Structure 1
Amino acid sequence: MGIAKYRFGQYQLDAGRRVLSREGHIVDAEPGALEVLCHLVEHRDRAVSEQELRLHLGCDDAVGEAPLADALRAARLAVGDSDERQESIRTTSPRHHRFVARVTSVPEAPASTPAASVGPADHEVIRFCRSADGTRIAYALTGEGPPLVKTANWLTHLDLDRTTPMFAHWFDGLTRGRQLVRYDERGCGLSEWSVPGFALDDLVTDLHCVVDAAGLDRFPLLGVSQGSAVAVAYAARHPERVSRLVLTSAYARGQQIRAGSDRERDAAEVDLNLARAGWRSQGSSFLRYFASQFLGDATPAEWDAFAAYQRQTTSVANGLRFLEEFTRIDVSRTAGQVTCPTLIIHARADPRAPVAQALELATLIPDSRLVLLDSRNHLFTGDDPAWPAFLTHLDSFLAEET
């Protein structure tokens, strides 16, 4: 079954993309409001408790009742309701709410058929496959030529990335003379959001599912940010499949794992708690801080744009799960088993992954080379002088294969 869309009155709710529209026009709604709305619509056969809604939003008892109250009020406003006018979202008891408007469910195309197209010139089509545990994974093929597989890394959204200025240059660069195979990580984008786990083994299995579905036998593999750990683990487990490995903004060990002193452990916990607070409150100051870790050279306006984009990629609850899992990533023992030629490209002043992590990977992976670029961005932007240098090194390295 594809990603469900729901119609009620003049509204349409795309549950997969977390987008609400009214008569064809997008309704500007906060992420928390959309999460509440989706959950109530999907469970419209019963009254939903506030405790269940708080858990869905990732709000524990410590943060109090205000975030849910704000999200519920915003959800009502988004569909034309108010505290008094409850034609869609009705309070059935002091602590329970139910979606009562008449709903028509409109499923998308089946997973076995192409679900979307992004222009014939680009030859891109979005498809779906099922991972070993049944999780739906969305993947896309872009361009023509020999393949380059990019591991998923949150934040992504296959349907939005190509029109997002902060990521559009990646497609122009990575599809020059080749076919880019990319996919949304479980729990975000067009892949399934309600999943049992986000462990590294799950993510490696998802990658295996995608390359099998794409019909690839042997291919170069690109890992970006935490996607690099997935790439390292996959290359170590499947040396017969990976011809060359490229890692950028990579780290072998998450912040909590690599903390070697009480001071570093305290700093890691503070950083994670800040991120938790930011995602739960969706406050601009927290989200700007989070964005600045990815885009060190960006302006406040660009940080806000990044924050707005990340709200569309996943739910608050999943965002918290991602952050916690990524701090515990550890491929330091696996890296030494990678046998293919490996290129590691890293910004000297990466604000999220210290350059020491790139040095560690270069030391651990036997046939590796390290390139350090002058940049303060964890994700290279289109106007970053390091971006064309990154592409030059990538193209030269992949050309050696032929």
Structure 2
Amino acid sequence: MPADERPLLAAADEGDGPGVVLLPGSAADRQIFLQSGIFGSLTNYARAVALDWRGAGESAPSKGDYGFAEEVEDVVALLDAKGLETACVVGVSHGAAVVLELALRHPDRVQGLVLCSPWPRTTQSMRQMFQIWQTVFSNNDPQAYGEAMAWWLFSHEFLDADPGRATGLATALFAAPDSAEREAHLATVGANLGFDVEDRLGEIRVPTLVLAGEQDRVVPAAYSKAVAEAIPGSRFELITGPSGSHAFLAEAAPQPTELIVEFIAEVVGAAAEC
């Protein structure tokens, strides 16, 4: 499809039942949810909608600067377009930050939350990391910045098992024809620099599952646990061992997939009984 004919947010939409919306990580497409089995498993009892962020996958190219406010409204517009008054929402990393902003700005639109590698606010150490990413994205081509990003996203064990793995991942995730353009990466990293919902997390009043990787080099597990502790009644699950990287949905499968699918089944089942 020509770029000027693509929707703002393209999405896979399958299944019948309660809505579940899946938000990938920073400037990413829906593939993590398809490849991990989360999307397919959800369609057994729910309507699963997995989106591509602006500038990624089948979505329209990103234009100009945008941040969390715009991305939240993008998701609300998608809910409206799909006829979903409310939904369980799953977010990964930057996507989890968007989920938190969505739950706080539009609490009536969320039925339950799954947060993979969330953080309550961008600390000084995270700010330095994001500034490094800005330099990496600004001064390198997609293949080169993709290979650099692999160090943060995946475990040492996963990368060391195959010397060519980082190159292959960079091509597939950052340098493929449908990968997000540089501007989309810079926009989302810029938004992450100012992220802070720490003092508002107690306002969230829907069932919430928080997952973290024990060896996550992007979002320390302690940061994700702090999110869980601040949201009343939330549940925290730690993915342990070498596969507990920032990319634990891929490395530790099927454990996180099973946790997510079972939790959402409980949430929508409980809602149906009310």
Task: Report 1 or 2 for greater relative contact order, CA contacts < 8 Å, sequence distance ≥ 6.
Answer: 2
- In structure 1, what is the Cα distance between the partners aligned to 2:228 and 2:36? 29
Q: Which of 287, 302, 307 lines up with 2:165 in the alignment?
A: 302
Instruction: Give the distance between the partners of 2:52 and 2:15, measured in 1 at CA.
Output: 18
Cα distance change of structure 1 residues 277 and 144 upon mapping to structure 2, 3 Å threshold: same
- Tell me if the contact between 2:19 and 2:88 (Cα under 8 Å) persists in the aligned partners: yes
Tell whether the 8 Å contact from 1:249 to 1:379 is kept in structure 2 after alignment: no
Quote the Cα distance in structure 2 between the aligned partners of 1:194 and 1:139.
16
What is the one-letter code of the residue matched to 2:105?
R
* Maintained 8 Å contact 1:233/1:334: no
- Asked whether the 8 Å contact 2:119–2:219 carries over to 1, the reply is yes
- Between the aligned partners of 2:220 and 2:140, the Cα distance in structure 1 is 27
Q: CA deviation at 1:388?
A: 2.3
CA contact (8 A) 2:9 2:54 kept: yes
- Maintained 8 Å contact 1:150/1:223: yes
Query: What is the aligned partner in structure 2 of residue 197 from structure 1?
Result: 65
- Cα offsets for 1:53-81 (capped at 9, x unmatched): xxxxxxxxxxxxxxxxxxxxxxxxxxxxx
Distance 1:364 1:381, change over 3 A: closer
Deviation at 1:394, TM superposition (A): 1.9
Equivalent residues, number:
259
Q: CA deviation at 1:317?
A: 3.0
Alignment partner, residue 331 of structure 1: 197
Post-superposition shift, 1:216?
0.7
If each structure's strand is expressed as a fraction of its own residues, which one has the higher value? 1
Structure 2 Cα separation of the partners of residues 329 and 283 of structure 1: 25
TM-score with structure 2 setting the length: 0.82
Q: Tell me the residue number matched to 1:125.
A: none
In structure 2, C-alpha distance between the alignment counterparts of 1:322 and 1:236, rounded to whole Å: 19
1:293 to 2:148 alignment: no
Task: Give the letter aligned to residue 147 of structure 1.
Answer: G
Higher helix share: 2
Cα contact 2:92–2:116 (8 A) shared by 1: yes
SS in 2 for 1:217: coil
State the distance in 1 between where 2:75 and 2:183 align.
23
The unaligned stretches of length 5 or more in structure 1 are 5-15, 17-106, 112-127, 129-135
> Quick one: which of 5, 10, 15 aligns to 1:143?
15
Which residue type is aligned with residue 213 of structure 1? A
What is the aligned counterpart of 1:182 among 50, 53, 64? 50
TM-score, with length taken from structure 1:
0.58
Query: Which is further off, 281-290 or 213-222?
Result: 281-290
Consecutive aligned runs of 4 or more in structure 1 exceeding 4 Å deviation: 283-286
Structure 2 residue ranges without an equivalent (≥5):
270-274
Q: 2:118 aligns with which of 250, 256, 259?
A: 250
Displacement, 1:172?
A: 3.6
Alignment check: 8 A CA contact 1:288 1:304 kept: yes
Shift of 1:231: 0.7
Q: Which amino acid is the alignment partner of residue 208 of structure 2?
A: T
> What amino acid is aligned across from residue 166 of structure 2 in structure 1?
W
Return the offset for 1:168: 5.2
The structure 2 residue matched to 1:231, chosen from 58, 82, 99, is 99
Aligned-partner SS, 2:254 = helix
